[in-house]
Chain A
Amino acid sequence: MKQTLVALVENKPGVLNRVASLFRRRGFNIDSLTVGRTENPAISRMTIVVDADADKVKTQLYKLVNVIQVENVTELPEISRDLALVKVQVNSQTRGEVVQLCDIFRAHIVDATPEAVIVEITGGEDKITSMIELLRPIGILEMVRTGIVTMTRGDHILSPNGYQPRGANGNGHTSVI
């Protein structure tokens, strides 16, 4: 079953590579992995969707020195969002159809030319997949998805537990540590 884990990691060069390498060598199948900044410039946050034993993934992640905190949020109340840009081939007849679909899915057309429009859609994975299935017969030219980012609801917080950047110069160092 797919498991969603959220990890706080040090914002340092090479950390994404360490995580990806770990998943590859342990045979954990990544469904999606997103990484981005957080409110703390020293910390990045990953949302990882895997088809693997979440406890095993977690204990392996903790073996990486750069990993600060990991939580399995699969069973927790959460908000998950994925974003897709879909370039759809249109003509004078199908353009209206795309606009209608955008209304239904609360998506936006962010670029339009006589031959094509780019649809931007945000939401849970299912919503995006449904819209894509409806756009497919019209003619998808190109598509990109960001992968899922997840946050638990309410006052449940994944905290870095008083994390202090490593190194003699605080976070000033440039070395790969």
Chain B
Amino acid sequence: MKLTGAEILLECLIREGVDTIFGYPGGANLPIYDAMTKYPQLRHVLTRHEQGATHAADGYARATGRVGVAMATSGPGATNMTTGIATAMMDSSPIVCITGQVPTTAIGTDAFQETDVTGVTLPITKHNYLVKDVNDLAYIVREAFHIARTGRPGPVLIDFPKDIQNDEAEFVYPEGEIKLPGYRPPREAREEEIEAALRLIEEAERPVILAGHGVLMSGAMQEVLKFAELTQTPFALTLLGKGGLPEVHPLSLGMMGMHGTGYANLAIQNADLLLAFGMRFDDRVTGNLETYAQQARKIHIDIDPSEVNKVVPVDVPIVGDLKTVLGQMLPRLRKLSHKEWLAQIRDWMEDADERDIVNQQVTDKLLAAHVIRDMWEATKGQAVIVTDVGQHQMWEAQYYPHDRPHTLITSGGLGTMGFGLPAAIGAAIGLGTNDVWLIVGDGGFQMTMTELGTAMQERVPIKIALINNGFLGMVRQWQELFYEERYNATPMQNPDFIKLAKAYDIPARRVTKREDVKKAVAWAEGINDGPVLIEFAVERMDLVYPMVPAGADLHDMIRRPAPSDRTI
């Protein structure tokens, strides 16, 4: 049977297991939107901006592990997607973006709403396509999903000209294995690699595991935990690694890096062996590379060969799927103990708890850290948290321990303000549950708060915790610490967020006192037929501690200046 290009696309999406498309129609993708009326099994979520569509697809993908799909028209529709695509690229999130394009006959003529979208997105996609023949389409869609979800996942874009959407072809779904020429399927580790790693592990007295996003993507949570427990190796997490290992665990060091725990960073700097599992030594976790973990030998297991020896030279690089490689290693590990090392870390832990995180001053003011800690208690640590980017994101990482995979969704690599709200919408739709909380600052919220319309129209039961300090808080923090308190362009005059929510028919409440936090959380948990918003009016001048200034040595942390009464 002959189908149009638009129909073939949708047939293929269904075969790839797609149930939801986040998108925005326009001149160059109308045939697809028209064909959609014949496929009621595909839910289309109309976002209010194409950036929102890509973040929503990203949130959907990160929450469910399935490929997220976003759709936009040509030109401005497609260029609006780029922030979301770049975000997915940096965090290895599998999404497929489908953009309309002007008809093939008009390509290259500066036609209305024409942009070279494959050119624009080339550096921010894992791969992209320009469909020029309807007979190629089914194969392209199949391959696009394969590329997005396999190996190191990432975003793939299909640019789909309008005339090809209308062209007809015999629909044949390409069965069989997809083979890509230079794509090396993840292999097992070689015997000599395993032996070299085991030797370093046996010899180590002060080992630390650095667990990254790869732990989650590989599904190696159990293997890493077993490894840690068997060899009594403490583990530190990257921001995107949170949820991969239980943070409430005697061997957990919490998050590492710029705003990581003092003891995680000290452990790394004093370690004699680093076991980097599915992480990439981002500058936010290493600080100054010249002084980074100088005493440590390093074992690096990662699926992406280009990450090995990229910025930190390692002694034993193993390119492969973490779950497979640890599966090879585990049966050959013997029980180890590192009593002295763990005791030393415990000392640092107590000291750091006093100084940095657990200890917050007793004050009348509402602190964001308190809000997040109380949210953790009120939700029993079981919510799926989506954050935006900034101080609240770091406080979330410090005060909301996660013990289940895929329960923290946050923009790490690109640090995209505005990611939170649309990603939360995507996550909640993908999961179909009522337990998705968005923690968002007043700055990032206003970048994409237009998506409140999406949440309203689709009745998405997200709970929004708006941490309002009336500042671009993280930038203000840098101005306070490194620019002699010249707060240029960081104070914000904000709208009345409660009234704003009301305009969208979203129940909303403002909280100004700590004793009301848990009550408000409970109130929000009772509202599950659509979104709900709580505005927490928090202390304006608060800082995230500890902090390793950009480019400083990892052990050179700015600590909280005046420890006083313990309140958490």
Binding site for B on A (CB under 8 A): 10, 14, 17-18, 21-22, 25, 55-56, 59-70, 160, 163-164, 166-169, 173-177
Contacts and interface: CB of A to CB of B under 8 A. Distances in A.
Interface string B342-379: 00000000000000000000000000000000000000
Interface in B89-128: 118-119, 122-123, 126-127
Given A18-B122, A168-B172, A68 B138 contact: no
B534 to A, nearest CB: 42
A68 B122 CA distance: 19
Nearest to B130: A176
Contact of B138 (A18, A64, A69, A168): A168
Contact of B136 (A21, A164, A167): A167
A25 B118 CA distance: 16
B181 A67 contact: yes
A8 to B, nearest CB: 8
Given A68-B181, A169-B135, A176 B306 contact: no
A21 B305 CA distance: 19
B133 interface: yes
A152 B130 CA distance: 36
Given A174-B133, A175-B133, A177-B136, A168 B182 contact: no
B118 A176 contact: yes
Nearest to B123: A25
Interface centre among B136, B182, B183 (most CB of A within 10 A): B182
Contacts of B136: 167-169, 173-175, 177
Contacts, number: 89
B309 A177 contact: no
Nearest to A24: B123
B306 A56 contact: yes
A30 to B, nearest CB: 16
A163 to B, nearest CB: 5
B179 interface: yes
Contact of A176 (B129, B147, B184): B129
B182 A175 contact: no
A14 B107 CA distance: 15
A67 B182 contact: yes
Contacts of A177: 129, 136, 139-140, 143
Given A21-B122, A65-B126, 7 more contacts: A22-B123, A56-B306, A65-B127, A65-B182, A70-B182, A167-B136, A173-B139
B432 interface: no
Contact of B306 (A21, A63, A163): A63
9 closest A-B pairs by beta carbon, nearest first, are A59-B306, A168-B139, A176-B130, A68-B181, A67-B182, A175-B136, A173-B136, A175-B132, A59-B305
A175 B310 CA distance: 34
Contact of A55 (B122, B304, B309): B309
Contacts of A62: 182, 184, 305-306
Given A62-B305, A173-B136, A166 B180 contact: yes
